[in-house]
Structure 1
Amino acid sequence: MSSTGIPTLGGLLQIENKDVQTAPGVSLNANQQTIVGSVLDLFAGRPSLQKLALWRDDATFEDPLTIAQGRDRYAAQWYGLQSAFSEIERLHHSVTDAGNPILMDLKTRYVVKGIGKEQTIQSVVAIYLDEQGKIARLEDRWNGKLPDGAISNAFRHLNAVTVPKLISVPKDAEEDAKRGN
């Protein structure tokens, strides 16, 4: 455990992405390493209730497709990756700023289940932490940007409400383990 009470990479939290790459001159403390490793796991379609425990209940996840505020909404987005994609491959990542937000360049290849369509997304991920070191907000800015406009934001909010109706999030660690998380 770190001094913030958040498990570290060597602790009980099962994080698969322990090799966090940083840009020259950027170094992360143990808590930041844990947070970034857990976020890389989420982007790889490897969610777990343990990893989502690093998030505030009222946190927000935002990307060009959704603005998901609150645990029920953002958790469904992460678990939805497993349902939507047959393959998720991280091609590159590098933490470029260890401040608040932590900034990371991320390039990921996704293959849509059923139709085999492949899409590579280059993004800048901004991870905002609260005073306890938990994730308060995460922005996935595709090509460094988020859409801004009434119509796009309406669709992003609609997605945040719809996905939790279609994607079930495990209720407990036992159910999570049965899914292989």
Structure 2
Amino acid sequence: MASSPPSDLKIENTNINTAPSISLSSEQKTIVGSILDLFAGRPSLAKLQLWSDDATFTDPITVATGRSQYEAQWYGLKTAFSEIERLHHEVKSNGNPIEMDLKTRYVVKGLGKEQTIASKVLIHMEGDKISKVEDKWDGQLPESGIANVSSVFQYLSPLWWLKYAEGWAFWGWSFVWETRVWMAFRRLNAFTVPKVVGVPQNAEEDKQKGN
């Protein structure tokens, strides 16, 4: 399933916890391990080659579709947070999607504030590639309809994303997430983050970042 051998992927999370009666194939373990690495702030271009070019990552604050958008979301974790600690994970289903419970503690860089987020992660596959990952905080996502970003939002500086980093971790997910304004915010996030987060352009740059 993986486009590179697991040894080349350098997946760090190889001890996968599963619910009773759930077993994973070696390919599924590679996929789940790579996702756990991403949530731990350990991205790499090799791991992200397990994703299709038009895959989507979605959570309560973003809908990131396409390689340039979802790669920036994962590399952005290290930009936004000084500490990322996985407290618990357990695979609940080995179907399609693979379902996993995840609990993570985050500390916002520069602020020292922390928050624990419990989520249900759904990993959708198309053939041998990840096509979609849903990160449902407290098991929920906003309704699927997404408002287009208005011209007002388009004039915002990319640096604005840094100003709402704390909200990303703490209050944004619970504030008017069902409104059309919040839907537009989720779309805006996906377009803004790639402008302020540096994604390596090749394996050498990735290696220099320690990935």
Q: What is the alpha-carbon distance in structure 2 between the residues aligned to residue 17 and residue 163 of structure 1?
A: 26
- Alignment of 1:151 onto 2:181: yes
The percent identity for this pair of structures is 61
Q: What is the alpha-carbon distance in structure 1 between the residues aligned to residue 202 and residue 95 of structure 2?
A: 33
Q: What is the alpha-carbon distance in structure 1 between the residues aligned to residue 2 and residue 15 of structure 2?
A: 22
Counterpart of 1:35 (choices 31, 36, 56) is 31
1:26-54: per-residue Cα shift (whole Å, max 9, x none)?
11111110000000000000000000000
Asked if structure 2 preserves the Cα contact closer than 8 Å seen for 1:28 and 1:98, the reply is yes
User: Alignment partner of 1:12: what SS?
Assistant: helix
Counterpart of 1:67 (choices 63, 66, 71) is 63
User: Alignment partner of 2:43: what SS?
Assistant: coil
Asked if structure 1 preserves the Cα contact closer than 8 Å seen for 2:45 and 2:206, the reply is yes
In structure 2, list runs of 5 or more residues that go unmatched.
144-177
Q: What is the alpha-carbon distance in structure 2 between the residues aligned to residue 7 and residue 126 of structure 1?
A: 22
- Alignment of 1:176 onto 2:206: yes
Aligned amino acid, residue 34 of structure 1? T
1:101 maps to what in 2?
A: 97
Q: What is the alpha-carbon distance in structure 2 between the residues aligned to residue 171 and residue 7 of structure 1?
A: 18
Asked if structure 2 preserves the Cα contact closer than 8 Å seen for 1:52 and 1:75, the reply is yes
Counterpart of 1:136 (choices 112, 122, 131) is 131
> May I ask how many residue pairs the two structures share in their alignment?
176
Aligned amino acid, residue 163 of structure 1? V
- Alignment of 1:6 onto 2:3: yes
Counterpart of 2:194 (choices 164, 171, 175) is 164
Asked if structure 2 preserves the Cα contact closer than 8 Å seen for 1:8 and 1:34, the reply is no
Q: Which runs of 4+ in 1 moved over 4 A?
A: none
User: Alignment RMSD, CA only?
Assistant: 1.0
Asked if structure 1 preserves the Cα contact closer than 8 Å seen for 2:2 and 2:30, the reply is no
Asked if structure 1 preserves the Cα contact closer than 8 Å seen for 2:22 and 2:93, the reply is yes
In structure 1, list runs of 5 or more residues that go unmatched.
none
Q: What is the alpha-carbon distance in structure 1 between the residues aligned to residue 38 and residue 9 of structure 2?
A: 13
Give the Å deviation of 1:6: 3.4
Greater share of helix residues, 1 or 2?
A: 2
Give the Å deviation of 1:7: 3.7
Give the Å deviation of 1:147: 1.4
Give the Å deviation of 1:8: 5.0
Q: What is the alpha-carbon distance in structure 2 between the residues aligned to residue 134 and residue 28 of structure 1?
A: 16
Asked if structure 1 preserves the Cα contact closer than 8 Å seen for 2:22 and 2:94, the reply is yes
Q: What is the alpha-carbon distance in structure 2 between the residues aligned to residue 48 and residue 29 of structure 1?
A: 23
Q: What is the alpha-carbon distance in structure 2 between the residues aligned to residue 172 and residue 6 of structure 1?
A: 16
Give the Å deviation of 1:13: 1.3
1:151-180: per-residue Cα shift (whole Å, max 9, x none)?
222110000000000001000010001111
1:117-136 correspondence to structure 2 within 5 Å: 117-131=113-127, 133-136=128-131
Aligned amino acid, residue 139 of structure 2? G
- Alignment of 1:17 onto 2:22: no
Asked if structure 2 preserves the Cα contact closer than 8 Å seen for 1:6 and 1:31, the reply is no
1:12-31: per-residue Cα shift (whole Å, max 9, x none)?
21000000110001111111
